[in-house]
Amino acid sequence: MATLNLNGKDVSIPDDPRTTLLDFLHQHLSLFGTKKGCDHGQCGACTVIADGKRINACLVFAFQLEGAEVTTIEGIGEGESLHPLQKAFIERDAFQCGYCTSGQICSGVSLLREMKNEDPSAVTYSQTRHSKASLKEDISERMSGNLCRCGAYPNIVDAITDVIALERQ
Amino acid sequence: MQPFTLHHYNGEKPLSSLPLDTRSRFLAGGTNLIDLMKLQVETPKTLVSLAKWDKANTISEDDNYYYIGAMVTNSDLAKFAHTQPSLSLLAQALLSGATVQLRNRATTAGNLLQRTRCYYFYDTTKACNKREPGTGCSAYDSMNRIHAIFGTSESCIATHPSDMAVAMIALNAQVHTQQPDGNTRQIALRDFYREPGETPHIETQLDEDELITHVSIKKKANGTQYYHKVRDRSSYAFALVSVAAGLKIEDGRIKDLSLAFGGVGTKPWYPQKAISVLEGAEPTQEVILQSAEAELSEAKTFGSNDFKPELLRRTLTKVLLELAEHQVKHPGHEGALYDNA
């Protein structure tokens, strides 16, 4: 039977090929941490990490991820211990209603890895040629796939900046 | 979502073993097709998943060409292009498009074949010749701010949304395909897309059962390069106008120019008339504006997009003047105009 690995456990992929990864999490596994916002890849509330890369769970069928390792917000921390970015979100008040937060955090956790790997972003080629583009500008660009209707953006960027600083110590 | 029959293609079985017809679709990353299936804009009877086609997920090169597999993601291609000074234009275009999440799934072939973001194409309650041939074009006399000024017809004025394809057209990429009878084809990307005419639902030269296997780009110096995208917000928005340009200056004159426009054409636009004015000329503001006028001689606007010709003039002028200035200051430079890396 076809499976994918979800937060460390193998789970069977549903028979109906129309099932998106997001609907699979909700309807088959009762994992509701990953949110459905727009369901069209525009808001990022459903962001999860598949084989180390952040993706929109609403725009991929579960069967496309056969054999993949998928991490959702439920698998970001270790047991009761929060991921440093989860702690930073609390410290920085990086959410208000909280609906986008699980997607923001999954996205941010991937961002930390991408920046460590020096993956390029559009800011790498930005017009701010007279001075090095700011880290906050770069974080904002890399997080543009995650919308926040409450407008907690400055605090989200601050939380990510804190963890980057922590990792560079 | 309508039910469909699922098949898999891993590159080993012949394509002829698959039930390919007008109601079948290849599924690569799915970021566009799945969205369209949810909206019932696309209702394929058969989906052929390419998720297990590992061989198409590689980038290779020899002395003369880069070969980019059909299933290479936009993220992986951007990362590779970023390391190659002559492909900076491609890296810039890719990174200006969509979001990290989407680029991590979107593929090279899927990006080329993505559908328009015309509002009326997406709205199944509205007439659209591209979605449902013969029903009419809702955009023609209506809200058409994002629509095309080049290559339009009375049947369709929708733009092609890709940034990657614009850079690839400037770089003269070649599309390689495989057909069910085992034959292969090579099509210049500049000839790959069709203007809508009376059949806007037929967008490329591909047959329904033909599969893109890879894209090749010739290795050559492309000078100083800049993909400048003008849009409504600074990230995650489609281009209103974009200019992809690579410029080499020698003895004060344009020695080599790679140029294409996005956001203005019913296909990623290769501006032959503008290029013929610019080649060998001194890159002055006057000459650049003459080249824009040459290209715009056949442009047509539709009310809400009347601003696009002027926006194109200004964007082209800014891009070429800045590239020329950089080339004069740094003769023989190869790579991005701006690079904060």
**Contact assessment for residue B70 and residue B109, using Cβ atoms and an 8 Å cutoff:** yes
Instruction: Write the residue in A120, A126, A141 that is nearest to B79 by C-beta.
Output: A120
Instruction: Tell me the average pLDDT across B258-286.
Output: 98
pLDDT at A1: 85
- For the segment B166-176, the average pLDDT, to the nearest whole number, is 98
Write out chain A residues lying below 8 Å of B101, CB-based. 41, 44, 47, 54-56, 107, 145
In the sheet with B174-178, reading across from the earlier edge strand, the strands are: B59-61, B65-69, B211-218, B174-178, B184-188
Q: Token pair of A60, please?
A: 């991929």
CB contact under 8 A, B99 and A20: no
Kindly state the helix (H) or strand (E) to which residue B196 belongs, with its residue range.
none
**Main-chain dihedrals φ then ψ at residue B258, nearest 5 degrees:** -110, 125
Instruction: Give the whole-number percent of chain A exceeding pLDDT 70.
Output: 96
Chain B residues within an 8 Å CB radius of A118? 341
Q: Which of B148, B175, B91 is nearest to B263 (CA)?
A: B148
* Residue whose tokens read 């921390």: A77
A110 touches B: beta carbon within 8 Å: yes
| For residue A133, pLDDT beyond 80 | no
A121/B38 CB distance under 8 A:
no
Residue B167: pLDDT band with limits 50, 70, 90: very high
Choose the weakest-confidence range: A25-39, A84-98, A119-133, B15-29. A119-133
pLDDT, tens digit (0-9, with 9 covering 90-100), for A18-67: 999 999 999 999 999 999 999 999 999 999 999 999 999 999 999 999 99
Q: Which amino acid is at A147?
A: L
> Which residues of chain A have a CB within 8 Å of the CB of B48?
none
Coil/strand/helix, residue B92: helix
Mean pLDDT of chain A, nearest integer: 95
Report the residue count for chain B.
Answer: 341
Q: What is the pLDDT of residues B185-243, one digit of tens each?
A: 999 999 999 999 999 999 999 999 999 999 999 999 999 999 999 999 999 999 999 99
Ordered by start, the domain boundaries in chain A are 3-75, 84-168
CA–CA dist B29, B101 (Å, integer): 11
CB contacts of B337 in chain A (<8 Å) are 125
pTM, to two decimals: 0.98
What are the chain B neighbours of A145 within 8 Å (beta carbons)?
A: 98-102, 236
Q: Does an H or E element contain B181, and which?
A: none
What is the DSSP code (8-state) at residue B218?
E
pLDDT, tens digit (0-9, with 9 covering 90-100), for B18-47:
999 999 999 999 999 999 999 999 999 999
Distance separating alpha carbons of residues B243 and B163, to the nearest angstrom: 10
Do the Cβ atoms of B178 and B213 come closer than 8 Å? yes
For residue B57, give both structure tokens: 């997920």
CB distance from A101 to chain B under 8 Å? no
A44 and B4 within 8 Å at the Cβ level: the answer is no
Distance CA B145, CA B239 (A): 11
Reported as a pLDDT band with limits 50, 70 and 90, residue A166 is very high
Chain B residues touching A119 at Cβ < 8 A = 75, 79
Rounded to an integer, the average pLDDT of B171-184 is: 97
CATH of domain A3-75: 3.10.20.30
Express as a percent the part of chain A with pLDDT over 90: 91
Q: Is the model's pLDDT at B340 over the cut of 80? A: no
Is CATH 1.10.760.10 correct for A84-168?
no
Per-residue pLDDT for B85 more than 90? Answer: yes
pLDDT value at position A128?
60
What's the distance, Cα to Cα, between the start and end of chain A in Å?
46
pLDDT in the model for residue A163: 98
Q: How far apart are CA B122 and CA B54, in angstroms?
A: 32
Q: Which domains are delineated in chain B?
A: 5-52 (3.30.43), 224-336 (3.30.390.50)
CA distance, residue A102 to nearest chain B CA (Å): 14
Q: Could you tell me which residues come within 8 angstroms of residue A130 by beta carbon, excluding any fewer than 6 positions away?
A: none
Query: Closest Cα of chain B to A70: distance in Å?
Result: 14
Q: Is A114–B100 a contact, with Cβ atoms under 8 angstroms apart?
A: yes
Q: What's the whole-number average pLDDT of chain B?
A: 97
How much is the ipTM here? 0.97
- The confidence score (pLDDT) of residue A126 equals 83
Q: In this model, does residue A104 exceed pLDDT 80?
A: yes
Contact B100 A40 (CB under 8 A): no
| Other beta carbons within 10 Å of B188 | 13
Mutation target among A125, A127, A130, A141 for the B interface, most CBs of B within 10 A: A125
Which one has a higher pLDDT value, B125 or A132?
B125
Backbone CA torsion sign across B194, B197, B203, B208: negative
Nearest to B338 among A129, A142, A145 (CB): A129
Q: Check CB contact under 8 Å for B49 and A63.
A: yes
- State both tokens at B330: 């740094």
Residue A132 pLDDT grade (very low, low, confident, very high; cuts 50, 70, 90): low
CB < 8 Å to A114, chain B: 100
| A-chain residue closest to B2, CA distance | A18
Report the distance separating Cα A69 and Cα A6, nearest Å.
Answer: 6
Six token digits for residue B62: 């020899």
| Residues B59 and B69 sit within 8 Å (Cβ to Cβ) | yes
Helix residue ranges, H only, B171-254: 189-192
In chain B, beta strands by DSSP E: 5-8, 24-27, 46-49, 59-61, 65-69, 174-178, 184-188, 211-218, 224-230, 241-250, 253-262, 335-336
Q: What's CA B205's distance to the chain center, in Å?
A: 15
Q: Which helix (H) or strand (E) holds B24?
A: strand B24-27
What's the confidence (pLDDT) of residue A105? Answer: 98
Smallest CA-to-CA distance from B256 within B327, B182, B160, B177 is with B327
User: What share of chain B has pLDDT > 90, as a percent?
Assistant: 99
A132: closest chain B residue by CA = B340
Q: How confident is the model at residue B264 (pLDDT cuts 50, 70, 90)?
A: very high
Partner-chain contact A129 B340, CB within 8 Å: yes
Q: How far does the CA of residue A65 sit from the closest CA of chain B (Å)?
A: 8
CA dihedral B206, B207, B211, B215 (to 10 degrees): -20
